[in-house]
Amino acid sequence: MSPKCLRDSLRQALHRREAKLCRRKLTVLPSSSVDFSSNDFLSLSTSPALRARFLDHLKQAPPLHPFASGGSRLLDGNSAYAEELEDFIAAFHNAPSGLLFNSGFDANVGVLSTIPQPGDLIVYDELIHASAHEGMRLSRAGKTVKFSHSSPESLKTVLRTEITSEPQLLEAGRNVFIVVESVYSMDGDVAPIREFIEIVDRLLPRKNGYFIVDEAHATGVFGPRGAGVVQQLGVEDRIFIRTHTFGKALASHGAIVLCCPDTRDYLINYARTLIYTTALGFPFLASVRTAYELLIDGETEQLQRNLEQLIRYFRSQLERLTSWGSSTFEVDHFTSSPIFSLRSRVPRRLASFCQQQGYIVRAIMSPTVPEGKERVRVCLHAGNTVEEIDGLIETIEMWLHQMERKAARL
Ligand SMILES: Cc1ncc(COP(=O)(O)O)c(C=O)c1O
């Protein structure tokens, strides 16, 4: 294919997306707009306390301390600082050990592409993140099967069906991995992890069912001092791997995989997303350390409480809006979650109306969410104010009135 042909085919693909109203575009919204979109749930990215501590960490580094890591963890990119940070975070999460990755994406790909062995079965929630799908695509597991989102009944059915068609799955030496998130990014709902554990214990009595739980959206927000849902439930011992990411509520970058030392060692030997990439440099490690110090010292607990209050307030205001029965608008919300889903047939119009009024919210379209489940995603932050929430509610109300007037004219 000549370069021109290639460019033509790329353009055609983009035109097809445009025609289906699902072409993705990078956007920069004015910094004066109010953030109701980012995953900065605790507003730590603008926290003076975080900034002061972080700068202090940087200043404490000895002169000429390298700010770049200089290579992969396996070559020159390792440091006592990185290893101490892993132990520090693992202790907070009540885990035997931890391994840093450059991102949650890398962590999920690293874990899922290496840990399941040939012949193993992976059973996954249908709404797990794209990075887990990428990891499974590269995995050597014999089979991957999805179950309906957060449905214990569906997990039971899938496991029973697989065990019936392949009774060897009950034998030692064959492994079954159950892959879930603790809090889902689009609906903000919390997975019924306890119920899942009961089912797996019952159906796999030889204890060869291994949970892999992605806590990306729970980190910092859910559980004691933001330690996550697994610790909130006290089921750390039953989870084979937990992944916490630092790019959301922790206002940093990277991720940690919490696991037993053997699993950590195996990942160091086989996970290509760890082996063949430059490790996080000192400033990133220091910013992760800073965020965890704030969690451990309890300095984020007040932020967690602010956030909870704002969630309750926004929810009550939305209930008022939906109670006047507009058919253009529905709200999905899981109690205590900062993520709200405003379901509309025209989410792009609602999002752009809010953006014009100075409120950053985003339309989430298929294929990021299943077709028919397009929505405007609203994320609350500890630093949002009641006045900002009132402003957003007023804006949504104005838009609903406009939609009604338009519908009446037709
Ligand atoms: C559930 C989940 N897992 C993993 C990731 C990837 O994490 P990161 O942004 O650190 O690559 C994300 C981020 O979008 C996510 O939502």
Residue 270: CATH number of its domain? 3.40.640.10
Q: What is the mean pLDDT of the chain?
A: 94
pLDDT tens digits, one per residue of 363-378: 998 888 888 888 999 9
Residues 238 and 333 in one domain: no
Nearest CA to ligand 1 atom 5: 104
Q: Is 255 in the pocket of ligand 1 (CB under 6 A)?
A: yes
Count of domains in the chain? 2
Q: Indicate whether 228 and 359 sit together in one domain.
A: no
Rg of the chain, C-alpha, whole Å: 23
- Å from CA of 109 to ligand 1 middle: 11
Contact 255, 103 (CB under 8 A): yes
The DSSP result for 144-192, as a single string, is: EEEE-TT-HHHHHHHHHHHHHH-GGGGSTT--EEEEEESB-TTT-PBP-
Rounded average pLDDT over 157-170 = 93
Q: Is residue 36 part of a domain?
A: yes
Q: Are residues 123 and 263 in the same domain?
A: yes
Q: CA 281 to CA 120: how far, in whole Å?
A: 36
Report which residue type is found at 88.
F
Q: Which amino acid is at 140?
A: R
Judge if 248 and 347 occupy the same domain.
no
- State whether the beta carbon of 333 lies less than 6 angstroms from ligand 1: no
Per-residue confidence (pLDDT) for residue 373, from 0 to 100: 87
Question: Does the beta carbon of 139 sit less than 6 angstroms from any atom of ligand 1?
Answer: no
Q: Whose CA is nearest to atom 10 of ligand 1?
A: 104
- Are residues 254 and 333 located together in one domain of the fold? no
Domain co-membership, 263 together with 337:
no
- The CA 242 to ligand 1 mean position distance, Å, reads 13
Distance, CA of 146 to chain centre: 19
For residue 131, the ligand 1 atom closest to its alpha carbon is 4
Residues 115 and 232 in one domain: yes
Do 36 and 113 lie in one domain? The reply is no
CA torsion angle 280 283 287 290 (round to 10) = 120
Decide whether any atom of ligand 1 lies within 6 Å of the 245 Cβ: yes
Q: Report the distance separating Cα 294 and Cα 19, nearest Å.
A: 47
Domain identity same for 263 and 349: no
**106 CA: nearest ligand 1 atom:** 11
The protein residue with its alpha carbon nearest to ligand 1, atom 9, reads 104
Integer Cα distance of 123 and 113 in angstroms: 14
Give one DSSP letter per residue of 336-383, joined into a string: T-SEEEEE-S-HHHHHHHHHHTTEE-EEE-TTTS-TT--EEEEE--TT
| Within a domain: 59 | no
Return the pLDDT at 324: 64
- Output the pLDDT for position 116: 98
| Residue 54 belongs to a domain | no
Question: How many Å apart are CA 102 and CA 108, to the nearest integer?
Answer: 11
Q: Is 282 in the pocket of ligand 1 (CB under 6 A)?
A: no
Q: How confident is the model over 61-82, as a mean pLDDT?
A: 94
Tell whether 7 is covered by a domain.
no
Residue 60 lies in a domain: no
- 247 plus 320 within the same structural domain: no
* H or E element at residue 9: helix 3-19
For 90-126, write each residue's pLDDT tens digit. Answer: 999 999 999 999 999 999 999 999 999 999 999 999 9
| Last-in-domain residue among 221, 246, 280 | 280
Give the residue from 220, 246, 280 where a domain finishes.
Answer: 280
Per-residue model confidence (pLDDT) at position 299: 96
d(CA 314, CA 392): 9
CA angle 301, 302, 305 (to 5 degrees): 90
Ligand 1 mutation target, pool 129, 222, 256, 274, most atoms within 8 A of CB: 129
Asked if residue 164 is part of any domain, the answer here is: yes
- Give the integer Cα–Cα distance in Å for 132 and 255: 14
Residues 243 and 322 in one domain: no
pLDDT, tens digit (0-9, with 9 covering 90-100), for 219-269: 999 999 999 999 999 999 999 999 999 999 999 999 999 999 999 999 999
Does 132 lie in the same domain as 252?
yes
- Give the domain range for residue 358: 29-43+300-409
CB atoms closer than 10 angstroms to residue 172: 8
176 assigned to some structural domain: yes
Q: What percent of the chain has pLDDT over 70?
A: 98
State mean pLDDT over 198-219.
96
Domain assignment present for residue 314? The answer is yes
- So what's the pLDDT on residue 42? 98
CATH of the domain at 363: 3.90.1150.10
